[in-house]
Amino acid sequence: AGCVYSTSFPDGDMDKEFASLGHTIGDVEMRVVDDEGVPLFDGEVGHLQLRGSVIHSGYLKNEVANEAAFTEDGWFTTGDRAFVYEGELTLSGRAKDSIIINGVNYYSHEIEAILESLPDGVLRSFTAACPTRLKGSDTEQLVIFFSPTFSLDDDSLTYKIVKMLSDTLIKQLGIKPHAIIPLPPHEIPKTSLGKIRRSIMSKRYERGRYHSQLKELNALMLKKASAYVPAGNAYERTLVKLWAKVLRIEESSIGICANFFETGGTSLNTIALKSEVDEHWEVDSPIIWIFQYPTIKEYAAKLPMLLDEGKLFSANDMYDPLVPLNLTGDKEPFFCVHPGVGDVLIFIELAKRFQDYRPFYGLRARGFNEGETYFSCMDEMVDAYVEGIRKKQPHGPYYVAGYSYGGAVAFCICKKLEAMGETVAFCGVFNLPPHIKQRLGEITYLSGLLNLSMFLDLYDKAGVALLNEQLKDLTKEEQLTYVVENAPAYRLKELDLDAQKLDDWVVLAQSLIDCGKNYDPEPSLSSISVFIAHPLHGTREAWKKQLSVWDDFTDQPNEYIDSPGEHYSMMSPIHVAEFSKILKVEIERRT
C-alpha cells in the first residue's frame, strides 16, 4: 500500500475484470515470477515481488518468516497473485496460502488440518485446499483435492468421504466447497520438499482438467444420496435454477429435498434468493419462507398460494416468531432471540455450527410482513415468544438465549417459563447488562438508522461515527436519503434495500426500543450465562463489572464468559467458529 498509484481509475478499467493499480513510485521495482522464481512476461499471472527503499527490510527476530518472504537478492514476496502489463500492476488474487470468501480470510493449511484430522478415509499430507475464482464471480471459491485411503473404484466409500468432508467444512467453518475432488497421490503435485503446489492445482481446475472427474463424481453423489429427488413440476424446476444461480452450483446437484442452508446458503444468499423469486414471479415473497420452507419441495408447494393471493402471512394470527435455522440434532432445541433490529439473519452462521447437535430456532420480531402490527410492550412480546417456544417444545428443559437487546427478552422468557413450573437448563445473555432503559431512551431516529446500517455492513464503525456528526442537524428524510445514496450500491443490491425498505426497518426497530423504554428487570431467575465481547470503549474488566449486575437478578451464581470480537462482530464470520465452541461448552456444562 502506498507504493503504487493509478491516474486512470475508473475510466481505464470499466471493461476489465480487475482494475489496474498503476505504476510504482520512486525507486520501487516490481516483478512477477512463477513458482520457481523465474520472472514472467507481460500479462502472465504469477507471484508479485517488490523491492525499493520504502519496502520493509524484514520481520523483527523472525528468521523463518524472512527466509520465506525474501529472495536472496532482496525481493519481497507480497503473497499476491498479479500480472504486469505495459508497466501497470494488476492484482488477480492472493497467493494460494489463503482463500478469501465473501471478504473472510480462510487459510489453506487450517482447512487441510481440519480435513486430515477426520478419523479415516483421507491420506495424510495429500490434501489441498485451493482457491479458484470463476469468471464473472465477485469472490473466490474453495476447491478441495484429497487422496483417499481406499480405492477410487469404491463408490460407496467415495460418496461417504466426500459428503463427510463437505459436511465438516459447513459445520466448522460455515463454508461449502465449490468442489471436492478425490485423486490418486501421484496426481497431487509437490515440491522437492514435499509441499503441495496449490497454485498448479488451481490452474488445472480453472483450465478444466478435472471436469470429467467432477462430472462423474456429481453423478455418483446424486445416485447415492438417499434424499435426492429430481424436480417434478415447473415450480420446482424454476427453483432449482434459482438455487443454482444464487449458490453458484450445478443444477444437476440440487434435489428438491435438499436444505438450502445445509447446501451452503448464507444470510446474503437468502436475500439474493428472495430477490430472484420476486423478479421471476413478480411478487413480494416473505423472506421468512426460506427459513420456514428451506427445501425446494416445501417452498414450491407454497408458491401457488402466494401467486393466487398475492400475499400470505399478512395478519397477526398467521405470525410465527420461530424461524428454523437448523433442524438436525437429537437434543432439546436452542432458541435464540433477535437483537434490537428484530431479525435473525445474524444467527445463520451460528446455527450452522449446531448441525447434528441441536435444532436451532431464531425468534424474529413481529412487523416484517405486510399487515403485521408491531409489539406494543415487552410483556406482549414475551408472551408471543413463550407461546411459540411451547408450541415447538411443550415442556423443558429449555435452552434460551438472546443477543444484545434479545438478552433482556430471553431473561424474561426464562423467568416466565420457570414461573410456569418448567425447567430452564440454560439462559444465555450475549453482551448485555440488565438495565437498558436509559440506553434505549437515548436512541434517536439517526442513531437507530446508523446502528442498523452498521449491523447490515453498509458502513463500518468509523463511518458511522463520521455520519453521526455530519447528519445530526438534518431532517429524518435528509438523513435517510444521505445514508442510502452514500452506501455501497452492491451492498444495497445484495440486501435488496432501498430508502423505503430501510426506513420501514428503522421504524420496526424503533418499536422494539419503545417496548424496552419502560422495562425494568425484576428478580428472579435461577441463573444465567453472560457472554462478554470486547467493549467498544474502556477495558474488558470495566465492562465485565457492568455486566456483573446480573447477579442481583438471579438466585444462584452466574457465569461470565469471555467471547471473541466486539459487540457487533462477535457472531461475524471471523469470530463465529470460536464463539460457537465457547457457547456449546457452556450449554453442555449447564446440561
For residues 117 and 561, what is the distance between their CA atoms, to the nearest angstrom?
28
Share of the chain above pLDDT 70, in %: 93
Structure confidence at residue 445 (pLDDT):
95
Helix (H) or strand (E) segment spanning residue 494: helix 489-495
For residues 181 and 167, what is the distance between their CA atoms, to the nearest angstrom?
15
Torsion sign (Cα): 108, 111, 115, 118: positive
Q: Quote the strand ranges of 469-580, DSSP E.
A: 529-534, 559-566
Q: Is the pLDDT of residue 345 over 90?
A: no
Q: Is the pLDDT of residue 310 over 60?
A: no
Residue 296: which of 336, 241, 354, 355 has the closest Cα? 241
What's the whole-number average pLDDT of the chain? Answer: 87
End position of a domain, from candidates 224, 251, 278: 224
Same structural domain for residues 503 and 535? no
Same structural domain for residues 149 and 220? yes
For cell 451492498, what's the residue? 491
The H-assigned helical ranges of 174-313 are 198-206, 211-224, 234-247, 267-281, 288-292, 296-309
For the chain, the domain total comes to 5
How far, CA to CA in Å, does 437 sit from each of 318, 440, 543? 31, 5, 18
Structure confidence at residue 311 (pLDDT):
47
Torsion sign (Cα): 541, 544, 546, 550: negative
Q: Which string of DSSP letters, residue by residue, matches 428-487?
A: EEES--S--HHHHHT--HHHHHHHHHHHTTSS-HHHHHHHHHHHTTS-HHHHHHHHHHHS
Same structural domain for residues 427 and 341? yes
Model confidence pLDDT, tens digit, residues 461-514 = 888 989 999 999 999 999 999 999 999 888 888 788 899 999 999 999 999 999
CATH number at residue 241: 1.10.1200.10
Whether omega for the bond prior to residue 202 falls within 30 degrees of 0, making it cis, is: no
Phi, psi of 259 (to 5 degrees): -90, 130
Model confidence pLDDT, tens digit, residues 391-433 = 999 999 999 999 999 999 999 999 999 999 999 999 999 999 9
Structure confidence at residue 549 (pLDDT):
96
CATH number at residue 76: 2.30.38.10
Grid cell, residue 529, equals: 450465562
For cell 442513531, what's the residue? 447
- 312 pLDDT tier (thresholds 50, 70, 90): very low
Same structural domain for residues 246 and 140? no
Same structural domain for residues 348 and 295? no
Same structural domain for residues 233 and 380? no
End position of a domain, from candidates 250, 283, 312: 312
Range of the domain at 143: 98-224
Structure confidence at residue 267 (pLDDT):
75
Same structural domain for residues 172 and 35? no
314 or 190, greater pLDDT? 190
- 254 pLDDT tier (thresholds 50, 70, 90): confident
Same structural domain for residues 423 and 536? yes
CATH number at residue 351: 3.40.50.1820
- 225 pLDDT tier (thresholds 50, 70, 90): low
Same structural domain for residues 497 and 386? no
Contact 511, 367 (CB under 8 A): yes
Grid cell, residue 278, equals: 420476486
What is the distance of C-alpha 504 from the center of its chain? 24
Model confidence pLDDT, tens digit, residues 67-83 = 778 888 889 988 788 88
Q: Is the pLDDT of residue 94 over 70?
A: no
Same structural domain for residues 398 and 532? yes
Torsion sign (Cα): 252, 257, 259, 265: positive
Structure confidence at residue 313 (pLDDT):
44
How far, CA to CA in Å, does 371 sit from each of 313, 338, 374? 8, 21, 10
Strand partners of residue 259: 295
Structure confidence at residue 495 (pLDDT):
81
Same structural domain for residues 146 and 219? yes
- 17 pLDDT tier (thresholds 50, 70, 90): low
Same structural domain for residues 109 and 189? yes
Structure confidence at residue 342 (pLDDT):
95
Grid cell, residue 510, equals: 424503533
Instruction: Find the mean pLDDT for residues 586-591.
Output: 95
Model confidence pLDDT, tens digit, residues 265-293 = 877 788 889 999 999 998 888 888 888 88
End position of a domain, from candidates 291, 312, 333: 312
